[in-house]
Structure formats: C-alpha cells, structure tokens
Structure 1
C-alpha cells in the first residue's frame, strides 16, 4: 500500500534515470555476440532484473555494479527461454530474433506484461519469416528455426516498436541488407541501432525506412543508456498538477517535444536547457485535446498522468488513444477521486473539476 498526503506543491530537482525501454533491447543484444557488452546508466528496475535473469538463463554471465552491466560469456547459448520469465515481461519476446540469428533455433513463450489490450506478435513473426526463419506457433509458444537468416525487405503495417527492434536485432546477424519500411522511430529504437553499429552492423535511416547491413559476427561494445523520457514527463506532470516548479535533470529535451507542447498549452510555463527541463505549473490547468501517436507524437505512456492533470483543468478535454485501445485503467480510480470522465471507445472526454479528493483505489 502507498499512502499519499496530497494538496501540496511539489518543488525541486530530480535526476532522471536511464530509460528502461532502451536498456531492455540493449541487454538482449548481448545474445548476438560472445564478446563483452558493457552498458552504463542502467536503471535498477524489476523489468531490467527480469531481462538479466533471462540472458543468464540462456547462457550469459552478468555483473551489475553502480548502474553498469557487464555481460560476458555465451559461447554456447541455450535455445529455449524459460516461459516463467518471458510471461513476466512482454519485452522478453525480443530474445527470439537474436537466438535464431545466432544459433539457428529458439523456443519462446508468447509474451506477458501489463494488460493493455491485445498485443499481437504477428509483425515479429512475419518479419522473421521474411528473413528466412521457419516459424511455428503452438501450445503457448513460438518455435523458430533457420540454417542462416538472410537480409530481406519487410513492410510494417504499423510502426511497431517491438517488431522494429526484433528485426534490427535479427538483421544484425543476417548477411545482406534488411530493409524495414515504416519502422518505429522512438528514441529507444534509434539507440538500439546505435548500439548495433558499435557492435559492427551498418544501419542507415531514411525518410520511411531503416536499412541494416548484417554481418556474420558481431563484436562487443560499450554503450550508455539514454535518459528515460517517460520518467521525466511523469515528474514534470507531478509538478504541474500541484502548481509547483520541478526541474528534471539529465534529460534529452528533444525527446519530449510533443509532450511539452501539450503541457504548455495546458498553461504550464516551461524552460528548457541543454540537458534539463523545468516546469512551473499553473494555478489551474487549461483544457487540452490530444491524441497519442508513435514518436514523434504524444507518447502513450504519458497519457494516464496527462489525463490526471486534465481531470482538474478548466473546461472539456478530449483524449484519443491510438496506440493501446484499452489503456484506460486509470479512469476508474480517478472517478473515485471526483473526476468527471467518459469513456467512448478509444476516446476519453474529460470535464475538468476544480479539485480532486483523496480516495482508496
């Protein structure tokens, strides 16, 4: 249980952690090479610990000290990922591509994780099949085999972050060119490409595609995880909703552009430095309409705390969720706190109230 005594301004500075969503695929990239991979600025979170357990179960050795992971070993990898670990966290499914690319076979349970509605992995499987993998789905797991993956052209109907990362990882060890058309461009995806370049793959981003030229062997590398834009946005919203002043340190302001634009429209005063963002919250926010969208649009992960801000805004806000249609689990608790919110399909209509009240949720 967490007990919160609200009604107070939040003021001060906060150091932002490394991005979990950048750390996870970077950890799984260690499966592509037997050479050491050193990752700095890794956040100590449950999902990261699960990722570490998973690569250890597959044959890697991991030393974790003061935010730095050193991943070694793995001359011989095990092809089967423990179902309990994969079902604990949806990102664990990303081990499928590296295992098939490196040892020619993999068995991975269908992914778990938070309940945000359907999470089809069809884009992952169709993409790996295009690279030459034989893929079978049954008994709650995916089995994939390939004598050798090969570069291919893959079109994604939706710019899926997971599918783009899966294909980048697999394509790094697939000789030839893998072209992903309509890829995700989230900062965490771009950072994975940067890491793969350090390991020896060639990656080129164009207007509507990313091309990766794979190699038969990747080397080790040293890499620093980028700041967590979602953590930064959450702290800035906490300051804004209380009318306080909060400065987030060690951030990349460019990664927060769409979010900061909407926060400014809601009445917050925003200052931006080279690696920090400061928000001064208004006495009462203004109503704002927005929709979530793949990067560089408004991030779906910041939709729930932004709705909390708009719950006490002056006027009516309309929020359209285009990424995860079921990402409305926060609505019922907010209603218990006095918010006025209607759910209409994938749209929220938020009628702001002057004050929210404490409640057990």
Structure 2
C-alpha cells in the first residue's frame, strides 16, 4: 500500500487532460465479450479497475493489448469460466459480467463483488431482473449462479434507477429473444455511452439518457470501435483541487453537459467556470462561498461520488454548509480524516454540517474509499505544511497518475509505494 506526500499551499495553474471515464469504460469492456470479435476502445483509463476487468477478460480467453490510451479486446476465442473471488472481491463492477455471460453462454457464476465500503449496494435488483428475463438463480455465501436455456425479452420495472442494474439488463437483453424494455432506467451519461458502444457492434438499442430504454435481441454482431467519454468525476476533482489552492486551470477533454449540477454548485460557491472549445476553464475565487444545502441524488442531480470532494472545498468556505447524503449510509467516512487536518465538520446519520475554517493543516490521514482518497488529496493541496495520504490503492482504482497530473499543474506531491512505519 502506497501513500501520497503533499506539501500544500502551491497554486495550481495550467492545463490538465481529463482521462476516460472509469464508470463508462468498465461496462463497455464487459460488453466486448458480446461480438466474438475485435473491439477497439480508445481513451481507456489506465487504472486498477480497468486492469482487473482486463484480467477477467483474459481468464475468459480474450486476447488483450494496449497501445497508449487504446485497449484492443479480441473475444473471438472467449470461453465460459467462473469469475474468481480474488478478482471479484476487489471490484464492485465485476457484477457487470453477470448479464453478458448469462446471455452469451446461458450461465454465469460470479463471486460476490467487492470494492469500496461506502454502504449497502444490494444486488437484488440485478438478480430480480435476470429472473424476469428467464434466468434461474442459485445463491450461497460466496457466489451467485445464474442459468438460462433461453432469455426472453420483457418489460422490467426497476424499483430504483440503478446504474449497474440498468447496464446489466442491457448486456443480457442483447441476447434475449424479442424486445426488452427497461422502465425507470438510470439516466447517467455512462449508460448512454454503453448504448453508443452497443450500437457500434450492431445492436438495436435506444432511449438511454431517458427513463425508458428499448433493446432488441440480436444474433449477429460487428467488430466494435468506440472512444470512452471523459470522466466527469475526475474533472470535478481537479476543479476542487484548483479551488483549494486559489488556482486557475483548463480542463481539456471535458464535457460540461455531463456535470451540470456539479458546475452549478462550484459556480454558487464563487468559482468562475467557462465552457470553451475542447474543455472547461476554471478559476477559483479569492474566498469560497458556503453552500446552503447540497443533496446527493441520481443523475441529473448532484452525484454522490462528488460529495466527499466538494466537502473538502467547503471546509475553507466563509460560512456554514450542509450536505445531505441520500445514496450511501457510509459515505461520511472521510469526515474524521478531514477533521484531523483542522476541518470543523459534524456528521450524524446522513447529514453533515461543515463550518468553514480559515485554513487546514497538514496531517497523516488515510483514504477509506476511492472518492474519500481524492477528497483528502484536494484538501492536502490547500493545507499548510505536509500531509501524508495513506491507502493510495483506493485512489488508483479510479485515477490515472493523479500525482503526475497535479505535479504538472504546480503541486508539490510525491507518490511513495511503501508506507513508512
């Protein structure tokens, strides 16, 4: 387990390239199994979760190669096998192989997925949807087995607009007989990205971005080529980092339309944001304004992944902010770590009250999940003195070379592969 060593107080300036979206790349890579052919995925981030997904594809018999930011997956010789605990236990999104394996081979056996401990993320919605398509489910303490001789298209009504469940249904429905209709579908840009990829291999699918998605079962597919959309959470992370340091940056390869609520909150806090050709110009105010109330929610509302990161910025706002977390019950694990740096945050149940302080101070802190790690890095950049952010493996799940990108903007940040005891 590594750590980031950061000397705060250096103003960020310059241009940063925003990498491809983690949450778009993972389902698209899972979908590369569908066509039994070549899939060229451009702008694919080099992060741990992508590496683990490629390991699963290799175990299934796919040929994998990477050339810079382009990953090539040839699934011509892919064959069924179960997904082992070592891999599934490290990554929540391994569940996305359930739908595509069930549809392609009539069977999927997946160990219960892991990932960040931010709260309950039940997979019952996924399993109920597979049952509606015609699957039989067997569960034990360690694994889930789905089997089906044939999947049949149907109308599926999701009780909540789950991104993972929506994507899993799309991946299975590709192989179902007839039409599948998903009601109350998740509307995230990453769902639209999966639809666009599926279209590239010849699947008839429409409606993503709205609340109803239509998928026609298909038996013939093309080779695929697709460029992954920019990571809207990574873009928001760099915006928060610039705000903490009173900096100004240009975020290249950023689609502001994917992050309207995030942009709105930063603007309300006094930040100057301009959408320009090829990206976003961001400038911090001299003093950050507090946010009266921020409430997380499903897209297009404020994303839960941005909540810890924006909270870091609000620790030095001139006034008091309130954050309501509606998505995950353990999403305030970073509060105690920020308080070690001099923040003044009280959190109870799903409500956090952030009283802005004049400055943060360096401290030794630990990331408890992916976005908590990013939040601590942002806080450290604006803090006085040295901060050590431990548990870098969480951050590496979703950010490609974040220390290098920040250093190029002027930050004093170093990565150490080993923690000094």
Structure 2-normalised TM-score? 0.84
Residue-pair matches, total: 361
Quote the Cα distance in structure 2 between the aligned partners of 1:142 and 1:336.
Answer: 41
Shift of 1:179: 0.8
Matches within 5 A, 1:39-188: 39-188=41-190
**Superposed CA offset, 1:325-345 (max 9, x none):** 211121111100111111121
Checking the alignment, whether the CA contact within 8 Å between 1:174 and 1:216 is kept in structure 2 is: no
Instruction: Report what 1:208 is aligned to.
Output: 211
**Superposed CA offset, 1:225-265 (max 9, x none):** 11111111100111112111011001111011110100010
**Superposed CA offset, 1:48-67 (max 9, x none):** 00000001101211111111
Q: In structure 2, which of residues 321, 340, 344 is the aligned counterpart of residue 340 of structure 1? A: 344
Checking the alignment, whether the CA contact within 8 Å between 2:92 and 2:114 is kept in structure 1 is: yes
Q: In structure 2, which of residues 302, 306, 320 is the aligned counterpart of residue 302 of structure 1? A: 306
Shift of 1:275: 2.5
Instruction: Answer with 149-158 or 71-80: which moved more.
Output: 71-80
Shift of 1:216: 2.2
SS in 2 for 1:2: strand
SS in 2 for 1:32: coil
Instruction: Answer with 342-351 or 67-76: which moved more.
Output: 67-76
Shift of 1:148: 1.2
**Consecutive unaligned residues in structure 2, runs of 5 or more:** 366-421
Quote the Cα distance in structure 1 between the aligned partners of 2:350 and 2:153.
Answer: 37
Shift >4 Å, 4+ stretches: none
Instruction: Report what 1:260 is aligned to.
Output: 263
Checking the alignment, whether the CA contact within 8 Å between 1:63 and 1:70 is kept in structure 2 is: yes
**Superposed CA offset, 1:247-293 (max 9, x none):** 10011110111101000100111111132111111122111021111
Shift of 1:323: 1.5
Shift of 1:12: 1.2
Instruction: Report what 1:292 is aligned to.
Output: 296
RMSD: 1.2
Shift of 1:139: 3.0
Checking the alignment, whether the CA contact within 8 Å between 2:30 and 2:53 is kept in structure 1 is: yes
Quote the Cα distance in structure 1 between the aligned partners of 2:122 and 2:342.
Answer: 35
Shift of 1:173: 1.3
SS in 2 for 1:31: coil
Quote the Cα distance in structure 1 between the aligned partners of 2:218 and 2:24.
Answer: 23
Quote the Cα distance in structure 1 between the aligned partners of 2:211 and 2:68.
Answer: 39
Instruction: Answer with 47-56 or 273-282: which moved more.
Output: 273-282
Instruction: Report what 1:317 is aligned to.
Output: 321
**Consecutive unaligned residues in structure 1, runs of 5 or more:** none
Say if 2:32 is the partner of 1:38.
no
**Superposed CA offset, 1:96-127 (max 9, x none):** 11111001111101110011111110110000
Instruction: Answer with 118-127 or 196-205: which moved more.
Output: 196-205
Instruction: Report what 1:27 is aligned to.
Output: 29
Quote the Cα distance in structure 2 between the aligned partners of 1:235 and 1:57.
Answer: 35
Say if 2:238 is the partner of 1:235.
yes
Tell which has more relative contact order, 1 or 2 (C-alpha 8 A, sep 6+): 2
Shift of 1:143: 0.3
Checking the alignment, whether the CA contact within 8 Å between 1:79 and 1:99 is kept in structure 2 is: no
Quote the Cα distance in structure 1 between the aligned partners of 2:45 and 2:211.
Answer: 32
Instruction: Report what 2:379 is aligned to.
Output: none
Shift of 1:26: 0.7
Quote the Cα distance in structure 2 between the aligned partners of 1:305 and 1:119.
Answer: 21
Quote the Cα distance in structure 2 between the aligned partners of 1:97 and 1:285.
Answer: 45
Checking the alignment, whether the CA contact within 8 Å between 1:175 and 1:216 is kept in structure 2 is: no
